[in-house]
Amino acid sequence: MNRYQKAAKVANDRSRAKAIENYYKNPSICRECGCVIHVKENQKCSEVAKKIFCNNSCSNTHNNKLRPKKEVIKKEVIKKETFGYLIGVRKKELFELKGIYYKFRGVIRKHAHYVFTSKGGERNCKFCGYDKHVEVCHIKSVSSFGDDDLITDINSFDNLIGLCPNHHWEFDNGYIKI
């Protein structure tokens, strides 16, 4: 850096320091939390002076208060009749009935969740105790069952366990054993 560039940088630093000093004499205040909106390292003071919230969280909180609240619609509890058609159905028959793998897998997953919750399965991870989001996991994988095995055998309560998403992935990929 030559001496002219150094002089220009010093002048810029002084003018920025003066602008920041002037801003803090009469700073912008967040409408939601009432805190001073601070000038960040590479922000212009004029930009910060226009802000009315200190961060996105305050903005969202304030703006969501103005919105009308939506009525929460509770989902109906799945009834036993919903999965009655699976009694006596074999894996191959269900796959042919659904035709597409992801639809077949969705029915298996929903039925497993229904069996696990209806038989009183604990809603926490067996490894770490996490209870915010628990996935129902097959101890013996669905793919390891033969085409002639019954869906009720695949989703028997003894073959299901509750795991958090991390431990479910680790179990499915062979990093942990049950």
**pLDDT at position 170:** 93
Alpha helices, DSSP H, located in 26-128: 45-50, 56-66, 91-98, 101-118
**pLDDT at position 156:** 92
Percent of the chain exceeding pLDDT 70 equals 94
**pLDDT at position 78:** 47
Is residue 164 a contact partner of residue 131, using CB atoms and an 8 Å limit? no
Encode pLDDT of 91-120 as tens digits: 888 888 888 888 888 889 999 999 998 888
The whole model's pTM is what?
0.53
Which of these ranges, 45-49, 132-136, 158-162, has the smallest mean pLDDT? 45-49
| Every domain of the chain and the residues it spans | 3-66, 80-172
Encode pLDDT of 21-79 as tens digits: 888 899 999 998 999 999 988 888 889 888 999 999 998 888 888 777 777 766 655 45
**pLDDT at position 164:** 93
As a whole number of angstroms, the distance between CA 61 and CA 84 comes to: 45
